[in-house]
Amino acid sequence: MYLGQALWKSLESHANLFTGEMHLSCFQSRLQLILKKYGVVVEIVPSKFAKRHLYLIGGEFLPDRIRQPIRLYIHVHADKKTIKIPKSRLRTFLFEVSQVTQHELIHKFQYSMTRDSGNFYGFYYLFETKKTGKSLENMYYMATVEEIDAYAHDIAMEIKFYYPDHNPATILKHISRHKNLTSWNLYTKSFRGAKWSDVRVSLIKRIYKWIPAIKETFILKKVS
């Protein structure tokens, strides 16, 4: 069951909860209240690397957890006790929460389809590179069928969010020209210098398949 529209409606209808400055525990509990029904546990993570950012959002699917198997991590600087999302940033914040949550929900669905076969994260598209170590490990990870599918959905969402008045096919034809597609940029950065045409073609194909499923308009009603 695809939950994109329902998730955005849940977030959009509670947008007023995230205006104004509030303690991180309050911020966490409010977001948790919205996302609990989607199997999400929200965690605030003190992080030194978030110093230059108001926040950073990450996620994780925990296949060994039957209930609430998804973690949504809000990284904030370790010195922060409160958070304030500017109204100008609120729509983007809610979009990012929706995007990361859906990414992990896709992994949950993938796992449910492959659990019996034991093939979760078992297949990847071929590429050629001289990279080694963690960079190579990351490339293998991002070349897996599961990650390509989930990141393709991320990119499809970004196209609809940042370029709502553009033809998605035109965007995809010249995808590298569109700097707001951060998930695509993550792939180009990870595979820089590599021969990754199989990965790239598969990713583009999956984006095309996800585009029609993204029904959200990402319109945010006026908040007080």
- Tokens describing residue 24: 């991180």
Burial grade of 193 (CB within 10 A; 0-12, 13-18, 19 or more): exposed
pLDDT of residue 207: 97
pLDDT of residue 15: 95
Long-range contacts of 167-175 (CB under 8 A, 24+ apart): 168/211, 169/208, 172/204, 172/207, 172/208, 175/204
The model's pLDDT over 112-147, given as tens digits with 9 standing for 90+, comes to 877 665 565 668 999 999 999 999 999 999 999 999
Identify the DSSP state of 63. T
Calculate mean pLDDT across residues 69-84.
94
∠ CA 171-150-63, nearest 5°, is 170
The better pLDDT of the pair 23, 64 is held by: 23
Calculate mean pLDDT across residues 102-118.
83
Calculate mean pLDDT across residues 74-90.
92
Calculate mean pLDDT across residues 74-102.
94
